[in-house]
Structure 1
Amino acid sequence: MSSSSKTNARTGPLIQIFPSVNSLPLVNTKPGAWVCDLGSAEISDQPYTGGIFVKDELAQDLDSDSFPVNEWKYILEGEWHMVQNGRKLVAKPGDVVFVPKGAAFLSLKNPFKAFFVTNRGGVDHKAYTKAKL
């Protein structure tokens, strides 16, 4: 759903509320990693997307030698354990993490849930409706 797709002639673009995002379907992107894109919008030539990311107990360590996009994550549940340049980083609920494009790090297998905003634009995922947030 595009945030710019809903408009009203009198007020312009409409505010959207996504009630109970825990009932929305997730898409399995990697073993143990799930995503739910809530919406996408264009800002000049830089599209951005926001949604929910879940890493579950089946996830393995994920190594990124060059993260493909700029991304912000607000940790909702669990802890995100990472290692960068030999230093262990732990993000807990309430923490905000900025991962810059090109960052090299190891994301350890600890389960967590986060709200994300990234500049990758919308992706047409095929929903895997068996899983829920």
Structure 2
Amino acid sequence: MSEKPLIQIWHGADKMPLINIKAGSWVFDMGTSEVNENQYTGGIFIKDEFAVDLKNDSFPGNEWKYILEGEWHMIQNGEKLVAKPGDVVFLPKGTAFQSLKNPFKAFFVTNRGAQEHKPYK
């Protein structure tokens, strides 16, 4: 008899050790799982008051962000977009946009698979 998957709970996920990946940008990948042979990763993403505007010419994978705190300000095709707490943002793979420096915290799910984040220097 095979073992059944176990439910996992991350108590205090807001206190997990974050990796500084860019000026003022932090991430904590909670884990990766396969769905229909695609790897999906979920975690926490934070832009703090030291963040800078970031330009993405081609976003690396499909990603959903659920905004927990703050506001995520973006510009795409000259149009300003603002996501607030309770909003879900979907970024399709290949999307070009600019993420402005406003601080926010989000839970994300992406199909970029497991990615080893290198700390920003």
Question: 1:18 matched to which residue of 2?
Answer: 10
4+ long deviations beyond 2 Å: 123-128
Secondary structure at the residue paired with 2:7? Answer: coil
Alignment length (residue pairs): 120
TM-score under structure 1 length normalisation: 0.84
- Per-residue deviation at 1:127? 7.8
Contact 2:21 2:119 in 1 (8 A): no
Once the two structures are superposed, what CA deviation does each residue of 1:59-112 show, in whole Å capped at 9, x if it has no partner?
Answer: 100001111110000000000000001100000000000000011101000000
Rounded to whole Å, the distance in 2 between the matches of 1:79 and 1:27 is 21
Partner of 1:81: 73
Q: Is the 8 A contact 2:66 2:88 kept in 1?
A: yes
**CA contact 1:25–1:127 (8 Å) conserved in 2:** no
Query: Measured at CA, do residues 79 and 17 of structure 1 come closer, stay the same or move farther in structure 2, by a change above 3 Å?
Result: same
1:131 is matched with: none
Structure 2: runs of 5+ lacking an equivalent: none
Preserved CA contact (<8 Å) 1:26 1:127:
no
Q: State the identity %.
A: 68
TM-score, reference length from structure 2: 0.92
Say what the alpha-carbon RMSD is for the aligned residues.
1.8
